[in-house]
Structures are given as C-alpha cells and as structure tokens.
Homo-oligomer: A and B are copies of this chain.
C-alpha cells in the first residue's frame, strides 16, 4: 500500500529541483514502462502498477519482483500527472553521463535554450531514429525529465545520451579536439550544399531568438534550410532540426 510519504515523494518529482536532489524521475503508462524494462532495466528504481498490468507482463516483470508494487487505480490517480492514468508509473534513476564520452562522438546536437517541451521531446525522438551520437542541452533549456518532454520523446530518452552543459563548458571539454561547430541560422550556406566535416556539432537555437551571440562567434559555419517561399517566416524548431539531421546523415553515409 502507498504511504503518504510515498505519495509526497513521487509528487515532489514533478519539480526539477527535487528530481535533481533525489536523482530520480517519473515515467508513466504502458509503453514507457515497457521501454524502461527493455532498454534501461538497471535504471528502474520502483514500479507502481495495476494488477492487470502485472498479470499481462508477468514474465517480463519477473526479474524486477522486489521493485514492483501492485496498486489500485485509486492509488495510481493519487500519484499520476496524467488526466487519465494508464496502467502504472515508475521511478527511474537519472543516469550521470560521463563527460569524457563527448570527446569520442562523431555527430552531436547542441540545443541552445529549446524551451518548448513538445519540441524537446520530438528532437530527442528524431535524433534517436537517426542515431545521432548524443544531444547536449544548455542549462536554460526545458528539463529533459519534464513529463511532457518524456511523453513526446516516446521512450527515446533511454536510447540516446543527453547531457546538460552550457556551450562554454562544452567548448572547454572539446577544446583540444579538431571538432567543427555548425549553426542553423537564416543567412548561412544551404544545408544541401554545405560540406560536413566530422566530428561535428550542429547548434540549434531557441524558438524565438535563434542562436545566442556568444555561440555565433564560435561557429565554424552557418547553415540554412533554403526557403522556397519568400513570404514564410520560419520553421518550427523541431522540424528544422529534423531536416538538418536527415541531411547530415544522408551525406555521412556516402
């Protein structure tokens, strides 16, 4: 049975400061729980689920017996962030990424203050599809363990490393490597014509103001998605990211 302390603890994790303090985040629903079990079993801290979920996946769940607590729908509603709670909720350990790993990557996305949770989740999902080596998010970006981000990432968060660093920290870590920084801007070379040198970091700017000035001065190249209709103003940030990632991967393959 859920204690009041359990409920209080789980609910506290809807805030970034408590996620960081306790090094845990929350995922919800059948699909996300299965993604955890298959792709990040070691990170499962606790699973609260309905009896029908336990029965349905009894075999897959047998390895995690001591971490599972079967609860009622009434209890699930007390800890869920969803309007319609779905099957269960799990606590997951936040993985401490190894900063040195960044140095061995070939194609990295740097997100400079992406603020919309839907955009962030969609970018993580897209980068996972294209097997981008890792994503680095600036400290002012939306938290990647925000429930709406996790929802739009569709489990991809378990398959692609995501680090949180400001650009100058990144640049310090990578300072002695001959890595290129390309930035997505309105006035650069066409993404279809640019040469891509690896290892490569592609920088995506904030939804309203684009890439910050302090980063622009560090770029090796400015690149642009050609606009075929001069009357349009911009593309959605997750759309622009997907188009450039697709183009880089197409060319990388050659």
**Counting chain B CB atoms within 10 Å of each CB, which of A156, A247, A249, A250 scores highest?**
A250
Question: Are B249 and A246 interface neighbours, CB within 8 A?
Answer: no
A159 touches which one: B229, B239, B242 (CB < 8 A)?
B229
Question: Are B129 and A229 interface neighbours, CB within 8 A?
Answer: yes
Residues of B within 8 A of A39 (CB): 231
Question: Are A231 and B159 interface neighbours, CB within 8 A?
Answer: yes
Question: Are A239 and B126 interface neighbours, CB within 8 A?
Answer: yes
A residues 88-129 in Cβ contact with B at 8 Å: 118, 122, 125-126, 128-129
A129 touches which one: B126, B129, B130, B227 (CB < 8 A)?
B227
Q: Scoring A residues 213 to 254 as 1 if CB is less than 8 Å from chain B, else 0, what string do you get?
A: 000000000000111110111111011001100110110010
A225-B246, A246-B246 known; A232-B156 Cβ under 8 A: yes
A228 to B229 Cα, complex, angstroms: 31
A129 to B233 Cα, complex, angstroms: 8
* Shortest beta-carbon distance from A34 to chain B in Å: 11
Is A15 an interface residue when CB atoms closer than 8 A count as contact?
A: no
Residues of B within 8 A of A234 (CB): 129, 154
- Copies of this chain, tallied across the complex: 2
Residues of B within 8 A of A129 (CB): 225, 227-229, 232, 234-235
| Beta-carbon nearest neighbor of A236 in chain B | B122
A250 to B131 Cα, complex, angstroms: 23
| Beta-carbon nearest neighbor of A254 in chain B | B192
A62 to B226 Cα, complex, angstroms: 35
Question: Are B126 and A228 interface neighbours, CB within 8 A?
Answer: no
A239 to B229 Cα, complex, angstroms: 19
Question: Are A250 and B159 interface neighbours, CB within 8 A?
Answer: no
A122 to B131 Cα, complex, angstroms: 24
Question: Are A128 and B229 interface neighbours, CB within 8 A?
Answer: yes
| Beta-carbon nearest neighbor of A247 in chain B | B246
A235 to B131 Cα, complex, angstroms: 13
Residues of B within 8 A of A130 (CB): 228-229
* Shortest beta-carbon distance from A204 to chain B in Å: 14
* Shortest beta-carbon distance from A130 to chain B in Å: 5
* Shortest beta-carbon distance from A244 to chain B in Å: 9
Residues of B within 8 A of A229 (CB): 128-131, 159
A89 to B231 Cα, complex, angstroms: 22
Q: What are 6 A-B residue pairs whose CB atoms fall within 8 Å in the complex?
A: A39-B231, A118-B118, A125-B232, A129-B228, A239-B242, A246-B246
